[in-house]
Amino acid sequence: MNIKRNILLNPGPATTTDTVKMAQVVPDICPREKEFANLMNELRADLVRIVHGDQSKHTAVLFCGSGTINIDICLNSLLPAAKKVLIINNGAYSTRAVEVCQYYGLPHIDMKLSVFETPDPLEVDRVLMENPDVALVYTTHHETGTGLLNPIREIGDIAHRYGAVFVVDTTSSLGMIPFDIQRDNVDFCMASAQKGLMAMSGLSFIIGDKEMIERSKDYPKRSYYCNLFLQYDFFERTGEMHFTPPVQTAYALKQAIKEYLDEGEENKFARHKRVNEAIHNGLSNLGLDYVIPRDKESGLVVSVKYPDDPKWDFTKVHDYCYDRGFTIYPGKISTTDTFRLCSFGAIDVEDIHAFFKVFKEALNSIGIKTHLKKND
Ligand SMILES: *Cc1c(COP(=O)(O)O)cnc(C)c1O
């Protein structure tokens, strides 16, 4: 089968391989069959392996939904009665976690920081010292809205010193930036299949500490569909999701994990880094500027400042590129006009070279002269 290959430079869903796409085409199967439960069991064990977890201590719990379902589930399920959440918030995705707390009426502290800076560990320590009722510390590893990477290992160490559970939204770093749930001091991490693992959307998972999930059995139940203990318990007893799983998406994830393990964590990280480097080179050749300093940037998202030219028109440039198989994405910073170029997915340096050729044409097509530097 000949499937058109699009280069997605948006922050997920990412460009997938044809083998992952085709893995969805399987004979119809009832997901209550043993054969499907076996697949789910393999996926759960594979996910624990990917984060270098300990199979006896850690577990992966799968859900049918996009990545935000994980944020919702962790917050509503892992907070004991009369305790508080601390959200270290320096971006759009931690703000989403604050909103989840607001919707459920969960007591929380919104530690709102600049979206351009990583948190000061001393400040986190001070807030925890002053608030002994915080039982859950939450942050985002890679703030996809900007490209900022947070120092989770340090924050996790502080959270644990105060006896709090540390939950990290790793949706846009897991499977791309090397991560070790134990070494990185994380109790619960999360992602969805369409991001770092380059599979299909519709399947999300939380990976974390079994004992902590078992302890949450008696915490207030704040959601029927989205409760971590209930889903975990059903998996443990039956090997199945409580409700209908995204069947074909699970087969695609199995294939994507095989390809992930074949490529290898370090090789894959190196590929994302060289794609990011090629993006920075392309921007610098065009004289375009970015927002997050390189030493604080994840290497997975570049937030590009709009060119300082009245002729600039994001939609026109987007449409020109889109028609030629390249997708660029708007920014998520309220104070600065940006668009984003991401290095997720099954792409490599030559795709970025091809993109910049088209991007330059797009700029020319709306009358922006590109002052290319030499060596282009
Ligand atoms: C993509 C993403 C999510 C989930 O977004 P969905 O649209 O629900 O898939 C959550 N957190 C981060 C950091 C993300 O990048």
Q: What is the pLDDT of residues 182-219, one digit of tens each?
A: 999 999 999 999 999 999 999 999 999 999 999 999 99
DSSP letter string over 287-335?
Answer: T--BSS-GGGB-SSEEEEEPPS-TT--HHHHHHHHHHTTEE-EE---SS
Give the whole-angstrom CA distance, residue 48 versus residue 91: 27
The rounded mean pLDDT for the chain is 96
Q: Which percentage of the chain shows pLDDT scores above 90?
A: 95
pLDDT digits (tens, 9 = 90+) for 56-101: 999 999 999 999 999 999 999 999 999 999 999 999 999 999 999 9
Cβ neighbors of 41 (< 8 A, separation 6 or more) are: 239
Distances (CA, A) of 344 to 6, 56, 82, 151: 13, 31, 40, 21
Which of 10, 64, 93, 197 to mutate for ligand 1's pocket (most ligand atoms within 8 Å of CB)? 93
How many A from CA of 211 to the centre of ligand 1?
A: 26
Regarding pTM above 0.85, the answer is yes
> 136, 100, 155, 157: which is closest to 216 by C-alpha?
136
The pLDDT, as a whole number, for residue 371 is: 67
pLDDT at residue 1 greater than cutoff 80: no
Instruction: Check if the beta carbon of residue 200 is closer than 8 Å to that of residue 14.
Output: no
Closest CA to ligand 1's atom 12: 171
Which helix (H) or strand (E) element contains residue 190? strand 188-192
- Strands 58-64, 203-209: pairing is antiparallel
Q: Please report which confidence band the pLDDT of residue 129 belongs to, taking 50, 70 and 90 as the band edges.
A: very high
pLDDT digits (tens, 9 = 90+) for 324-361: 999 999 998 888 899 999 999 999 999 999 999 999 99
The pLDDT, as a whole number, for residue 376 is: 45
How many A from CA of 68 to the centre of ligand 1?
A: 6
Closest CA to ligand 1's atom 6: 67
Distances (CA, A) of 266 to 15, 60, 179, 323: 19, 22, 10, 34
> 321, 318, 324, 323: which is closest to 306 by C-alpha?
318
How many A from CA of 130 to the centre of ligand 1?
A: 31
Protein residues with CB under 6 Å of any ligand 1 atom: 11-12, 66-68, 93, 140, 144, 169, 171-172, 192
How many A from CA of 91 to the centre of ligand 1?
A: 12
How many A from CA of 93 to the centre of ligand 1?
A: 7
* Overall average pLDDT of the 2-28 stretch: 97
Cβ neighbors of 219 (< 8 A, separation 6 or more) are: 77, 78, 79, 80, 81, 229
Q: Please report which confidence band the pLDDT of residue 369 belongs to, taking 50, 70 and 90 as the band edges.
A: confident
Closest CA to ligand 1's atom 11: 171
Which of 96, 144, 197 to mutate for ligand 1's pocket (most ligand atoms within 8 Å of CB)? 144
The pLDDT, as a whole number, for residue 332 is: 83
The pLDDT, as a whole number, for residue 374 is: 47
The rounded radius of gyration (Å) of the Cα atoms in the chain is 21
Closest CA to ligand 1's atom 3: 67
> Which atom of ligand 1 sits closest to the CA of residue 192?
9
Give the whole-angstrom CA distance, residue 19 versus residue 4: 13
Which three-class secondary structure state does DSSP give residue 369?
coil
- Strands 148-149, 165-169: pairing is unpaired
Per-residue tokens: 88: 């270290």
pLDDT at residue 373 greater than cutoff 80: no
Closest CA to ligand 1's atom 15: 172
The pLDDT, as a whole number, for residue 372 is: 59
Closest CA to ligand 1's atom 4: 67
Instruction: Check if the beta carbon of residue 228 is closer than 8 Å to that of residue 74.
Output: yes
> Which atom of ligand 1 sits closest to the CA of residue 140?
13
pLDDT digits (tens, 9 = 90+) for 238-269: 999 999 999 999 999 999 999 999 999 999 99
Which of 8, 98, 169, 171 to mutate for ligand 1's pocket (most ligand atoms within 8 Å of CB)? 171
> Which atom of ligand 1 sits closest to the CA of residue 143?
13
